Structure 1
């Protein structure tokens, strides 16, 4: 027995030595210092020019993080440094890290098929124009649905029917919003929106509750939103709203319950919808100063207005996370659905969703995942997603690299698009894949 114990210890030490050697070799093939200097330089320049107040970055491989750094502050008052536990509003990265991950699980388990149609699963759409849209079309953004609908504006009005927004500042249009100015006489529809808790109403902001009777009008508008040719690529938030409905109707389980199960299996806790339910407000990065709808600096609640309407849990947006939690998901996807010896998603499903099924037709999308037409920054094997709030994650199994960049560039305003004009994230992605 003693000899067997010694052999087990020796084998374990050899395994750890091999693993340590392979990690050291991988690190040697990636010039950490050179890349870290490059990223530091890019970040210093971005912060000086006001691309965003703060950021987290992680560069990693399928096995470990190579570079993990925080930069800047929560906002431009520079009172609170960004820390590793801080969580960012992921915006459209939620499409992949939420609804798409759940869909991958359900497809792998045979509970839902890519050929399933909206009307077959969600009864309210059975006799509508979108009834025969397939899950595949929704995930590849080839459904023909219009890009978005500003549902929340149906909750607003003005006494004299004057426009909500004007491109000219005046006595009536004072506060800025995006590149416009907000009508100071906007009123809220008290039938559907109240500012104190009300039983069975849905909390959509810290001081706003929505009457669920509002939702049928939302679904009716979605059902009439197929104004474009099917089979052509047109990115639309509505696609993922429908994916969420299909998931929840098919299984009887809420989207956030599903995602929490997967996150729990991965051992990550700094990720989820409605962050104030699982972290303190001090660790949540602020987003936009919303002078239009919420009349507040949005912090702790989702920035996207459509996701807000659904109580912060939506297929198109709503997730908050720190970079470390996303890094775990990246490693799982790069290892064909396996993480720490546990098969989280079926390998064939991961491959199917991250490939380019429509590339021959000039459509560079995976299923849920963003892919790009090959150019100076991206290759055909890259996959990931970006978010409106200034978030980015991409990975490539061939180069064995992933990159996560989380920022809150919409603070204090969404008009700040400096990081996009500079190809900021794409440049760093190109650098680490050299």
Structure 2
């Protein structure tokens, strides 16, 4: 009789689509909220960041939605749900990779496509035969990044832009260095008023597009001779963007916006002042080197700024609620509200680790980690330099989003990383 009863329960569970793992790992909202509140209050007290948004959810539910702290340390403006954060490198997956997934699913681009065949600028260069697959898995061997913007800066007497010692000539902190007080701009390429065909890169800065030739020339020779090995690089996703734009004739922000519109999310996009108010954009760093201002409403990342705020490596702004919809779509194998946004097989391909046998745990675009006390083998997501984090656990049907501006007032603040802050919360919500 007992065995018969068990069989009946099994049949009911199977027909209902309820898995044992979901029953075993039901979410204790109260317990997790207490834990997160404690972590957040401690972080705010210690100055990890001035404020944050957090969402925890599953493919069909949102368990916790909370805002903490303020826009900055003046404590004038509380963080609100509609406020948007600079996502930094989370843009690599929530922008460029998402578009790549759509295009691969529509057979408009192939993972085996070669850079030089698609983007003629690179046709006869050392990086011509890099594939889209290599770019997305960060196995091209390209150096991690290039500070293109620094060639636009100089000093009248040729002294260094930065010093590791503070002095009267180097008064202001930039990361762990101090900035020369006499920096001048290259007026051949930079203008502080609008000019025909110039690209706006900050609220009072416009760039001569002739500068881009030097950018592409530097990328073309940025090879470190480590092709096939994992080396995370902003350049990879800049090239992914160029491949997709060349293939489609559309700009990255146009293609991304099409996906966001299908998902019904509006608090996400590039160049946020085109679609929200400055008061709803969380400020990032006080930049004493390049823009000489508190950056708000314009992308923090200098490479993305040079590219006009729309870049494969950075540039997206969003609130946690918009990202939550993307997480739910990915947990539902590319489907949201009955619409197949991304093909299921493409979601599976991009979120797995195809190079594990080589000791590379990266997905296609997506960050994945070697399993440890915090991360499981099927987890995928991404982090951002500004203090942003999202991860998804498909086995446990769980996602976590943490948005902060830890770079306010300066990027030298790395307290949240030293404490494994985001990873600890991720571990907790997956218990």
1:422 pairs with 2:419:
yes
Name the counterpart of 1:297: 294
> Which aligned pairs between 1:284-433 and structure 2 lie closer than 5 A?
284-433=281-430
CA distance in 1, matches of 2:168, 2:394: 56
1:180-239 deviation line (CA, Å, top 9, x unaligned)? 110111110001001111111000000000000100000000000012310000000000
> Which aligned pairs between 1:65-76 and structure 2 lie closer than 5 A?
65-76=62-73
Name the counterpart of 1:249: 246
> Which aligned pairs between 1:258-273 and structure 2 lie closer than 5 A?
258-273=255-270
Match for residue 174 of structure 1 among 171, 176, 182: 171
TM norm structure 2: 0.94
1:330-361 deviation line (CA, Å, top 9, x unaligned)? 00000100001100000000000000000111
CA distance in 2, matches of 1:134, 1:340: 34
1:80 pairs with 2:67:
no
Contact 1:146 1:228 in 2 (8 A): no
1:343-389 deviation line (CA, Å, top 9, x unaligned)? 00000000000000001111010000000000000010100000000
CA distance in 1, matches of 2:224, 2:38: 45
Contact 2:25 2:396 in 1 (8 A): no
> Which aligned pairs between 1:36-115 and structure 2 lie closer than 5 A?
36-115=33-112
CA distance in 1, matches of 2:143, 2:110: 24
TM norm structure 1: 0.94
SS of aligned partner of 2:342: coil
Contact 1:27 1:66 in 2 (8 A): no
Q: 1:266: Cα distance to partner?
A: 0.1
SS of aligned partner of 2:401: strand
Q: 1:28: Cα distance to partner?
A: 8.8
SS of aligned partner of 1:312: coil
Q: 1:410: Cα distance to partner?
A: 0.2
Contact 2:117 2:123 in 1 (8 A): yes
CA distance in 2, matches of 1:229, 1:329: 33
Q: Stretches of 4+ moved more than 2 A in 1?
A: 25-28
CA distance in 1, matches of 2:86, 2:221: 30
SS of aligned partner of 2:391: strand
CA distance in 2, matches of 1:333, 1:76: 35
RMSD: 1.4
CA distance in 2, matches of 1:277, 1:346: 30
Q: 1:170: Cα distance to partner?
A: 1.3
CA distance in 2, matches of 1:318, 1:27: 39
CA distance in 2, matches of 1:348, 1:27: 28
Unaligned runs of 5+ in 1: 1-17
Count of residue correspondences? 414
Unaligned runs of 5+ in 2: 1-15
Name the counterpart of 1:10: none
CA distance in 1, matches of 2:47, 2:267: 27
